A and B are shown apart, each in its own frame.
Chain A
Amino acid sequence: MSVWEILADALRNAVGPGAAAYALAAIGLNVHYGYTGLINFGQAGYMMLGAYGVAVTVAFGGPIWAGLLVAVILSIVFSLMLGIPTLRLRGDYLAICTIAAAEILRLFFRSDIAAPVTKGVNGIQRFADAFYALNPIPRGYYGVGVLRWDESTLWVMAWAWGLVLMGTVIVFGLMRSPWGRVIISVREDEYVARSVGKNVFGLKLQSLLIGGLFGSAAGVVLALSQQAVSTEAFMPEVTFFAYAALMLGGVGRTWGPALGAVVFWLVLSAFDSILRSGVESGAISSDIIGDADVGVFRFVLVGLGLLALVAFLPRGILGTIGRRA
């Protein structure tokens, strides 16, 4: 692979539906972590509920819009289940419960007990035909130069980035509303908020609900773009990817999640391609990195990246630029 091919590949991924899904997940985390100060380590759980909400509903003969409704309901139930016991307690409880709940939910979805509904380890495929049938874009390839997509990818991308834009604008508006000002005051000092009579528990629960809905939307986008759901796609690492994107872009910044997701996917897929082409060309010995290890290395890189971001770039790209300006 030449440098150009690697760059083109990375660019294609950075604006693809996957990046948009992570941007949506990161928008949700921004509402939780960036504006309210809640730590939700279970965003992968919300995403899985969104994806399976659509997939299962359609697999059982329902229309796609009913699937979206199911996704929303599941997300709300999950938020209430996690939020009501933990949000009165210190923040660590929410962090612990979300990571545990998301992973246990995933293990449950892939177990034999849930298999009649979720199809267990096999997952569900080809449930989004109705969504693609609505595609008004004529067949063919579109784009400039190396950045070309077929009509159905473009259709998904239009929806996905449309949702990202909408989400960003909604969050921007919310956080400048009176409600948002109180939410930010909860992040800064919840005792102050309580002392002036605000219902901090209620506000946190509302924030958890809203951010969770963005997480589910991310799952729906992933499910529709791949026409497949499986529990393997919602490992705990997915949440940490979304955190990495958010922290890269800028925590508590309007465009932080979207920018972070794009840059994150650019870096990640460039790293993947370089590693892969190194292995294929024999520049990196296959004793050190086999084909299967490339995916593992990406996790190692993101783990180290998260540590480095916290230590050296805690405000992210936008925060750092914004401070200088």
Chain B
Amino acid sequence: MHLGQLTPVATKPATRADSRMRPRSLAVAGGIVVAVLVAGMAVAGVGPLLQGLVDGLRLGLVIALAAIGLSLIFSTTGLVNFAHGSLVTFGAVMALYLNTMEGGPRLNLYLAALIAVCLGGIVAGFAEVAIFGPMRRANLPHLSLLVATIGLDMFGRNAILYFVGSRPRPFLAYQVQERIQIGGLSVAPRDLVMMALAVAALVGVAVMLQLTTLGRAVRAVADNGPLAEASGISTRFVYIAVWVIGGALAALGGIFHGMSEQVSWNGGFLLLLLMFAAVIVGGIGSAYGAMAGGILIGVVTQVSTLFLPSQLKNAVAMLVLILALLLRPQGLFGRKVRVG
């Protein structure tokens, strides 16, 4: 800001461009949502539309939870983690094992979920400590690290397939549940609990990022790594921390996804594609962007099933992704940086 007053010529165009872009970002997001909602209402009517909104919100919260880690890891370490889908599946499968699988301890679902979330954080932290940290310090090219995350994902996904098989399975406590009716809407109680917990987790992440020392350190490293390092923040610790947090949240997202659908070895990978759409729509590298983008993608894809065959759900997300890239590549919450 001070610099801006000293050199108005240099900064003025940038600020003007910024203020011009903001309404446009709202227009893009709003336009997509309104178009989908109107189409949904026109085809299916108000009742199904509301139902679709609720289901979309549920899916969106799952995507948002899982995508935060993707965004945090990207903004601090600069790495797009293609193995994030495996972390999502890992969380769901660990909870499934602790909850229902033969040979497992058959714990209560909440306890199983808690342990699985911790394990997800530990595994992700381990990936940073054992694989990506050393690779980064060995000065391997950025592209090699991306290929390494791909290798890790392929390993993780298929290792899970080996252990649980290809058949999707539900959690024990939630196989059948009476849906409750609220003014024409039918929601399973498990989904209400799940959505409340997801919102609580999202608020928790926001509080952590804004108010705690760790959160401030994460934001500082994301903003400018070398500067943060110079002012005494251990970037190495922050890197590990974002992997642990991201892994735990991905595991939580995976468990929630498994609660409302089923747990399958490939679920995380399919969710990863939606997560990518979410972080790009929201602004790659912005945690709040990932939340907003996740909810937007969830609602849009779910509501689109009212007027399109549900097999096209993922294709709709892809379409939104490409539209967002064309109209506002830095995303809803992203900073405008000239790249490439």
Q: List residues of A whose CB falls within 8 A of some B CB.
A: 33, 37, 39, 41, 81, 84-93, 95-97, 99-101, 103-104, 107-108, 111-113, 190, 200-201, 236-237, 240, 243, 247, 293, 296-297, 299-300, 302-307, 309-311, 314
Contacts and interface: CB of A to CB of B under 8 A. Distances in A.
B193 interface: no
Interface residues of B, number: 48
Contacts, number: 140
Contact of A97 (B82, B154, B325): B325
Given A112-B309, A303-B155, A314 B143 contact: no
Interface in B32-46: none
B311 A310 contact: no
B340 A87 contact: yes
Interface in B65-107: 74, 80, 82
Contacts of A90: 339-340
Interface stretch (B5-13, B50-58, B232-240, B315-323): B315-323
Contacts of B151: 240, 302-307, 309-310
Task: For the complex of A and B, list the 8 residue pairs with the smallest distance between their C-beta atoms, beginning with the closest.
Answer: A306-B151, A303-B155, A303-B154, A111-B311, A299-B158, A85-B325, A90-B339, A307-B151
Contacts of A89: 325, 329, 339-340
A113 B326 CA distance: 27
Given A103-B270, A107-B314, A303-B156, 10 more contacts: A41-B150, A84-B326, A85-B322, A88-B339, A90-B340, A91-B340, A104-B273, A111-B309, A306-B154, A310-B148
A104 B314 CA distance: 6
A306 B152 CA distance: 8
Nearest to A194: B340
Interface of B: 74, 80, 82, 131, 134-135, 140-148, 150-159, 161-162, 269-270, 273, 276-277, 280, 284, 309, 311-312, 314-315, 317-318, 321-322, 325-326, 329, 339-340
Nearest to A298: B158
28 contacts: A41-B150, A81-B322, A85-B325, A86-B325, A92-B74, A95-B82, A96-B276, A97-B321, A99-B82, A99-B273, A100-B318, A104-B314, A104-B317, A107-B311, A111-B311, A240-B150, A240-B154, A293-B162, A296-B158, A297-B158, A299-B154, A300-B154, A302-B151, A302-B154, A304-B155, A307-B152, A311-B131, A314-B144
B63 to A, nearest CB: 13
B80 A96 contact: yes
A41 B322 contact: no
B143 A303 contact: no
B284 A92 contact: yes
Nearest to A96: B276
B148 A113 contact: no
A82 B200 CA distance: 37
Nearest to A81: B322
Contacts of B158: 296-297, 299-300, 303
B276 A33 contact: no
Given A100-B318, A104-B314, A303-B155, A92 B146 contact: yes
Contact of A310 (B82, B140, B339): B140
A314 B156 CA distance: 21
Contacts of B147: 39, 243, 247, 306, 310
Given A39-B143, A100-B318, A108-B312, A300 B159 contact: yes
A198 B326 CA distance: 23
Nearest to B159: A300
Contacts of B276: 96, 99-100
A190 B339 CA distance: 10
B146 A39 contact: yes
Contacts of B145: 310
B159 A95 contact: no
Given A93-B325, A108-B315, A112-B309, A300 B162 contact: yes
Contact of A306 (B140, B150, B270): B150
